[in-house]
Amino acid sequence: MKEIVLIAAGGTGGHISPGVALAEVLLEKKDFFQIETVFLHSLIRNKDNPDLLSPPCPVLWHSMPKYSGVSFLIFPFQFLVSFISTCLELKKRKVSVVIGMGGYSSLPAILYTILFRKTLYLCEQNCIPGKITRIFQNFAKKIALSFPVESYTFQNQNWKIIGNPLRKKVIPNQMNLRQNENLHDNKRNLLNVLVLGGSQGARQLNHMILKAMENVEVSQKFRFRLLTGNSLYDETKSKSKGEAEIISYADDMKPNYEWANIVVARSGAGVVAECLVFGLPMVLIPYPYAADNHQKENAEYMEKEGAAKVIHSTSEDPSPLVRYLLEWKENPSSLRDMGHEALRLSNINAAFQTLSYFFHSHG
């Protein structure tokens, strides 16, 4: 019997993007995986998320309330309404399998699988499993991990490290180190630095880069492209005194990754996974207020494996970044080595392999 699959990808972009990547592959390989229909399940306030503007399959929207900003007395009733609504919707659609991508907003769909004895699979993007993964691991038939989990041992033994599923539009056309095999292929002999602030805490990164550019040696040897996020574009543009290319948002990230020699970013699992498949050395500045401090663990794992350098800082002091950049400029072979390590850790087939593990593997 063919399965009707719901992918619960509702929280932030870090949960939505890999969920969409899984939906793309399921739709392409419906017969292979014995799938009849695929749905995405997401919060209605995510309707403007870029990955959900033109989704690969129908999206079932729900309105689970936020923990914050809701009265402690009102929240249980609002949650109950959302949960009952989700159950009715999924029963009507005859959903037989739920893939939870993490985040509290996947809770109604996960509880549906428990209440109605449906199949649950979990995907965990980070080096520290989120609360949903930890709480519901024993209800899951299998768990797919993006990275090794060092600080937590699963009681559920059916897990496998596969990699973070990537959307088709971000996967490079060919796996190589074009960016760093020839580090002197432009007339001014400059290295290209791509700066990705992410949705949280981008201001610190933007200001750190602008201050780094005030260093004469850095400004002469590097080109910068800042993706600021829409809300910080005007502020960053007004403070910029150098030649940085400042962009508010890019729907198509592939040309930016192809342009870059180095990436400076937060250490969310999605951005890190995308940098890996392009063989890009990274300077990672973890967002210190991320849940369970998972960005710190992600960054430190990348550094331990030789694909990144980590700056643990909440200040805008550019000194550590300047030091790394100038060291790499003087020693380009170390940059190439980091690129090789990044490629070693990458998996462009993570989406397909995750689904194969869920639906075909008996391990």
Establish whether 220 is an annotated binding residue: no
Establish whether 13 is an annotated binding residue: yes
- Given a contact cutoff of 8 angstroms between Cβ atoms, the answer to whether 319 and 218 are in contact is no
Establish whether 93 is an annotated binding residue: no
Q: How far is CA 141 from CA 58, 109, 146, 165, 362, in A?
A: 25, 15, 17, 19, 11
Establish whether 199 is an annotated binding residue: yes
Establish whether 12 is an annotated binding residue: yes
Establish whether 223 is an annotated binding residue: no
Sheet holding 245-247, edge to edge: 245-247, 222-227, 191-196, 262-265, 282-284, 308-310
Strands 3-8 and 35-43: parallel
3-class DSSP state of 211: helix
Farthest-apart Cα atoms in the chain, separation: 66
Interhelix angle 332-345/319-330, nearest 10 degrees: 100
Question: Rounded to an integer, what is the distance from CA 34 to the centroid of its chain?
Answer: 28
Establish whether 176 is an annotated binding residue: no
Question: Which secondary structure element, helix H or strand E, spans residue 119, and what is its range?
Answer: strand 119-124
First to last CA, the chain: 21
Q: Per the annotation, where are the binding residues?
A: 12-14, 126, 167, 199, 295
Q: Per the annotation, where are the binding residues for UDP-N-acetyl-alpha-D-glucosamine?
A: 12-14, 126, 167, 199, 295
